Amino acid sequence: MMIKKTIALIITGALLISLFAACGSNNNTSDLTTSTIAASSQVEAQSTAQATEAQDNKEVELKYVSWMSKGEDKPMAESFTKANPNIKIQVDAFDGANYDQLLKTRILSGDAPDVFLIQLVQYAPFVKQNYLADVSNEQAIAFQNNTQAIKSFMSIDGKEFGFVVNGGLVLTPVFYNKKYFEKLGVTTLPQSTDDFAALCEKIKADGVRPLVLGGKDKWPLNFLGLNYAIATNSVDYTDINKALYDGDIKPSVLFKGGLDLISTYMTKGYIGKESLTLTWPQSAQYFADGKAAMLPQGTWTPGVDEVKGIKADLGSFPMPFPVGSDGKNHIQGSIDRILVMSATTKNPEEAKKYFNYFAAPENLTQYLESQSLDTVLKGINVKQDPVLADLNAFYKSDACIPNFNFLSRVTAAFNSAAWDAYVNTMAGSPVDTELAKLDKEFDKTKAQMVLN
């Protein structure tokens, strides 16, 4: 009996020790927040000390995180490791719709990735919370600063904390199947909202759904909702974020047009119920299968697997939105992905290496071309997919004006609320109800906005 108890006691003791060992490796929130305060200067101080170590080719594994769920970032990581065999990159992808929450959870638990992508709405708040390393002196930033518009946008208190991977005009192409349009007898592409409605009616009469969107993912509805808001509100406010914050304009005024558009398209059957529960890849497949005639989606669409079968017949045209009061087409100039380094990375030299490698013109160009992305950075010439050739020419013409600042400083929570408003409107919620909710949601988190 005593022997059995002693054995049991030893096992219990071993379990206890392993429990303490596991707990000891976790950083709690207060430790983390204290450490992030001095983290930026810590990175600098460590870099000299670690330079020699790096030269000794120590084996290092960097953690990289983004929301690229189809493995878009892996080729970059693999080519870096090929060039730097002692540095491995562990690439993880988080769900895009909950990226902010998932990333913050990781950072707060003390397991921040060394290098990661963030979205525009995260940039200022993350800088404010000292999550990001100061990369002002990096090669990548020196290159980025050749483009003045980006330099002034990305600078916070005279420092830069991120590299704009892709950005420029958020082209709002509507993809279509040229063969189907030929069969339908469509010879000219729509130039106005009335033309577009007429085209949708023609397609609907043919028994095909005019439009399909990835409503389950929510963000694809930005192509209608947000871009309509930009098209119709850009002229009146030079700083829309400040105007919202100061109460000069309400979100409901900005979004009314876009929600009315979505509501109208649903009522008229241009968009169907299927769009509510399709993810964006499924919507691309739905379009490729010929069940819908048009797919408003990003410029990466020609490169996705789902449309490979009809690539040869793929065409695109700009979504016709109303022009602004100045007679110009105001287009969302967005910064989609920002490459950053963690302020608490344990491998700052290696992280900087990857950061600069990613941003090197030749590597960045390859990355952008592989995903049909674009950038406004000077010195990068991205070969666009031929499907987008006419689109690019239109958007870069004098008839189009990019707006980089539109809602760039709203909180992630409000962004999410806007997406919910689109989906709810599609599901039948009255536009006025959703607009009232938007105003309420904006007031709820307004105090968290970080203005320039």
Partner 1 sequence: MTKSKNVKIETLYSILFLIPALLLFISFIYYPLIMTVKYSITDWDGFSKSYNIVGIKNFINIFKDSDTYTTILNTIYLAVLVLVIGTIAQLGLALIIDQNIKGSVVLKTIYYIPCVISGLIVGLTWTSFLQYTGIINEFLRIIHANSLIQDWLADPHIVKNVIVFVNTWQWTGYGLIIYLTGLNGVPVEVNEASLLDGASGFKKFRYVTLPLIMPAVTVSGFIGITGSLKMFDLPFILTGGGPMNSSTTITMSIYKNAFSANMFGYSSSIGLTFFLFIAVITIIQLRVTRNLEVEY
Which residues form the interface with partner 1 (CB under 8 A)?
Answer: 5, 8-9, 12, 15-16, 19, 23, 29-30, 33-34, 37, 97-98, 100-101, 104-105, 107-108, 129, 215-216, 218, 272-274, 276-278, 282, 286, 411-413, 416, 420, 423-424, 426-429, 444-445, 448
Is the CB of 81 or the CB of 282 nearer to partner 1? 282
| Residue 75, token pair as written in the block | 């080729």
Is the CB of 276 or the CB of 401 nearer to partner 1? 276
CB of 274 to partner 1, least distance (A): 4
Pairing between strand 329-341 and 115-118? antiparallel
Is the CB of 107 or the CB of 373 nearer to partner 1? 107
28 burial via Cβ count (<10 Å: 0-12, 13-18, 19+): exposed
* Rounded Cα distance, 406 and 403, in Å: 6
Is the CB of 218 or the CB of 353 nearer to partner 1? 218
Is the CB of 100 or the CB of 114 nearer to partner 1? 100
Is the CB of 131 or the CB of 354 nearer to partner 1? 131
CB of 133 to partner 1, least distance (A): 17
* Rounded Cα distance, 294 and 271, in Å: 10
CB of 273 to partner 1, least distance (A): 5
Indicate the angle between helix axes 348-359 and 39-55, nearest 10 degrees: 90
| Residue 140, token pair as written in the block | 């990548």
CB of 416 to partner 1, least distance (A): 6
CB of 215 to partner 1, least distance (A): 8
CB of 383 to partner 1, least distance (A): 35
Is the CB of 189 or the CB of 276 nearer to partner 1? 276
Q: Beta-carbon neighbour count of residue 400 at 10 Å?
A: 17
- Could you give phi then psi for residue 210, rounded to 5 degrees? -65, -50
CB of 162 to partner 1, least distance (A): 18
